[in-house]
């Protein structure tokens, strides 16, 4: 049965290639992945530590900030990672809040595991976060699980709020002979974000503001963004290698199998619908109304089917000798379509990819990932990444890696920048392909510190200008960034520090990012009550230098360049108490503890001030049965 399913899937793969000649969207970018790793993210453990337990919001964890309340639109506070080669026909600033089929797991528990996380906002009583996770082994070789997340918030100002439901189900199976592997998942997301367009007047500083947040006038009275997204993925692998029998004693033998290579096939489907609704478009917030002055109802639907066939050599040869060089070759195909009120457009993308890398046990590290698009929307685009480094190992705790990483990419501009049609924005462009080159030096050590420096060149970069319209830079954009991370221990005191410096060194700075960003946890930690409780008491400190942050356009669900309002220059201080008793973890947190103690404004987006002093309580409980 398994062989029939595998053969059928291969047939479906080539059938999809034939079908794609008629119908591109996003392709998983091989260049984004860590060198010598084909998986996008392996989730193989359940977090039971107290480390930053008080930072629970999925966007904030990834250093995405935006309008300020959970579930709202966000963007990265750092220079963006290299974009995947894609048509990307939908603006989506809500992606950190969504589950995707990129999730991959590798659990293997003897007992079922259930984790419940719950966070409430007692000072306002309108914000709740719930995360349920359950995983279990049906047999030694078959694991299943489900993850459900619910986020609900009424925001802090008039006409704000979010309501998010995320569901992920997954299964991981390996045959008895250890040759066949099957991983599947399915995701569902529902997101509603109520949009108020920001404050009409956000010039009130914290040192003088004494008015109720709900009394401040906002720009929009009845607008919202809706996202509905679902999909699934099937990953199959068949291992080639040598099977042999090991004699344990005179009466017992054990079958052993050494995999030497793997034939892999993955099939992924995704469907996302985004809708922007505004029942009062004549309120003066929009410069243009093109279709309907009574009600805005802009709906976009994007479907994508991706198939990928690959062959990978594994760590050991069939004779048991370890390989020094690992390799992967493969082909990928995507068929997708975009539906909106004025058209239905289909796309294709076909690419070949390959990688070479050193084995994980080698001290000398090298890797090369390449992909080239032979057909479709991104025809003749390419992506390449190279890593050269050395793993310095000795008998002490001061082991470290020193790596050089280079990256080269050319990609067609996303379709949403080329062609867009809605009630408030219409454009048609013919932007040339963008290019990006970067070079980085990285020093990393678990017990010393992590530091990296990167230089990037972006040619023909496309962004949203001050009118929320796409524009392409005629000059190159050169960017320099540095990152430092360190966990420092002084007795029972800890400092978990991160400092990021980033600067546009060419003439034009349109990225809207702070030059200096630092986020630090300073806390006292010790086992107390006869070591029955693990306790942390401390502060989270966040600071951005002053900068012209990106503004937000609700009708596009996207952020755009502006040069009229500065934000930043304001230290935000949070106080927290984290403790753990057996499998239960609890935190108490006071956000913005320094409210009213220093002048200025606390915001990550102009016109969206963050609130004053607030209190949160959270609980995480792990059950093993």
pLDDT digits (tens, 9 = 90+) for 490-540: 999 999 999 999 999 987 889 999 999 999 999 999 999 988 999 999 999
Q: How confident is the model at residue 209 (pLDDT cuts 50, 70, 90)?
A: very low
Element (H, E) at 485: strand 477-490
Tell me which residue of 386, 379, 329, 376 sits closest to 354, measured CA to CA.
329
pLDDT class of 88 with cuts at 50, 70, 90: low
As a whole number of angstroms, the distance between CA 335 and CA 283 comes to 40
- Is 60 exceeded by the pLDDT of residue 32? no
From the list 58, 60, 68, 55, the residue with the least C-alpha distance to 549 is: 68
The whole-number average pLDDT for the span 423-449 is 94
72 burial via Cβ count (<10 Å: 0-12, 13-18, 19+): buried
> Is 542 or 251 the better-scoring residue by pLDDT?
542
Q: Is the pLDDT of residue 23 over 50?
A: no
Among residues 572, 550, 605, which one has the least CA distance to residue 67?
605
Compute the average pLDDT of residues 119-137.
85
Q: What is the 3-state secondary structure (H, E, C) of 160-216?
A: CEEEEEEEEEEEEEECCCCCEEEEEEEEEEEEEEEECCCECCCCCCCCCCCCCHHHC
**What pLDDT does 211 receive?**
54
Would you state the structure tokens that stand for residue 597, as one six-digit string?
Answer: 């103690």
Res 373: pLDDT: 96
Q: What is the pLDDT of residues 318-327, one digit of tens each?
A: 777 889 999 9
Least confident of 82-91, 370-379, 555-564: 82-91
Burial class (CB in 10 A: 0-12, 13-18, 19+), 359: middle
Q: In this predicted structure, which of 57-71, 75-89, 341-355, 452-466 has the lowest mean pLDDT?
A: 75-89
3-state secondary structure of 6: helix
Lowest mean pLDDT among 75-84, 325-334, 370-379, 494-503: 75-84
% residues pLDDT > 90 (the chain): 67
Cβ atoms of 66 and 73 closer than 8 Å? yes
Task: Please tell me the predicted confidence (pLDDT) of residue 246.
Answer: 66
- Residue 160 reports pLDDT greater than 90: yes
CA distance 601 to 205: 5
Q: What is the pLDDT of residue 26?
A: 26
Cα dihedral across residues 531, 533, 534, 535: positive or negative? negative
Whether the Cβ atoms of residue 90 and residue 416 lie closer than 8 Å to each other: yes
What number is the average pLDDT over the span 85-97? 81
The three-state secondary structure class of 465 is coil
Chain centroid, CA 163 distance in Å = 20
The pLDDT, as a whole number, for residue 24 is: 27
């Amino acid at each position: 049965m398994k062989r029939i399913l595998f053969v059928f899937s291969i047939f479906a793969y080539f059938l999809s290639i034939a079908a794609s000649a008629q119908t591109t969207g996003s392709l998983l970018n091989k260049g984004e992945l860590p060198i010598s790793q084909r998986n996008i993210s392996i989730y193989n453990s359940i977090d039971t530590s107290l480390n930053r337990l008080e930072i629970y919001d999925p966007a904030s964890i990834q250093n995405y900030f935006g309008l300020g309340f959970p579930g709202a639109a966000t963007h990265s506070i750092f220079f963006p990672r290299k974009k995947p080669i894609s048509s990307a026909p939908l603006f989506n600033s809500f992606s950190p809040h969504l589950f995707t089929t990129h999730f991959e797991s590798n659990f293997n528990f003897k007992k079922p595991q259930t984790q419940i996380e719950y966070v409430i906002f007692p000072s306002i009583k309108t914000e709740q976060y719930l995360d349920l996770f359950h995983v279990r082994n049906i047999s030694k070789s078959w694991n299943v699980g489900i993850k459900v997340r619910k986020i609900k918030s009424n925001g802090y100002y008039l006409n704000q709020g979010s309501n998010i439901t995320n569901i992920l189900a997954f299964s991981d199976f390996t045959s008895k002979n250890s040759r066949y592997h099957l991983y599947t998942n399915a995701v569902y997301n529902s997101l509603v974000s109520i949009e108020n367009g920001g404050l009409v007047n956000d010039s009130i500083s914290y040192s003088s503001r004494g008015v109720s947040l709900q009394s401040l006038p906002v720009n929009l009275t009845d607008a919202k963004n809706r996202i509905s997204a679902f999909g699934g993925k099937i990953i199959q692998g068949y291992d080639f290698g040598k099977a042999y029998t090991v004699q344990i004693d005179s009466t017992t033998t054990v079958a052993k199998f050494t995999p030497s290579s793997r034939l892999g096939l993955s099939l992924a489907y995704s469907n996302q619908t985004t809708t922007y609704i505004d029942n009062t478009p004549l309120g003066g917030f929009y410069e243009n109304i093109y279709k309907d002055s009574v009600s805005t109802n802009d709906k976009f639907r994007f479907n994508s089917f991706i198939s990928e066939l690959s062959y990978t050599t594994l760590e050991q040869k069939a004779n048991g000798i370890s390989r020094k060089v690992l390799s992967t070759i493969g082909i990928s195909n995507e068929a997708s379509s975009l539906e909106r009120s004025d058209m239905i457009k289909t796309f294709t993308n076909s690419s070949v990819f390959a990688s070479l890398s050193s084995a994980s046990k080698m001290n000398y590290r090298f890797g090369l990932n390449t992909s080239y698009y032979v057909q479709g929307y991104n025809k003749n685009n390419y992506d390449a990444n190279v890593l050269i480094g050395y793993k310095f190992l000795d008998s002490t705790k001061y082991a470290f890696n020193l790596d050089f990483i280079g990256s080269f990419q050319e990609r067609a501009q996303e379709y949403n920048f080329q062609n867009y049609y809605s009630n408030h924005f219409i454009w048609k462009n013919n932007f040339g392909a963008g290019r990006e080159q970067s070079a980085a030096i990285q020093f990393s050590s678990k017990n010393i510190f992590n530091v990296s420096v990167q230089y990037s060149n972006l040619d023909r970069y496309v962004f949203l200008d001050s009118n929320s319209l796409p524009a392409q830079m005629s000059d190159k954009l050169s960017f320099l960034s540095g990152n430092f991370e360190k966990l420092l221990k002084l007795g029972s005191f800890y400092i978990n520090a991160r400092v990021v410096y980033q600067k546009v060194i060419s003439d034009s700075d349109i990225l809207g990012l702070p030059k200096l960003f630092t986020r630090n946890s300073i806390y006292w930690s010790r086992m107390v009550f006869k070591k029955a409780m693990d306790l942390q008491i401390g502060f989270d400190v966040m600071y951005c230098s002053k900068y012209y942050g990106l503004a937000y356009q609700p009708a596009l669900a996207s952020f755009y360049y502006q040069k009229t309002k500065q934000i930043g220059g304001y230290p935000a201080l949070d106080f927290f108490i984290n403790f753990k008793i057996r499998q239960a973890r609890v935190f108490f947190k006071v956000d913005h503890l320094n409210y009213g103690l220093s002048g200025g404004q606390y915001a990550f987006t102009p016109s969206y001030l963050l609130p004053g002093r607030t209190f949160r309580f959270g609980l995480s409980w792990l059950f093993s049965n």
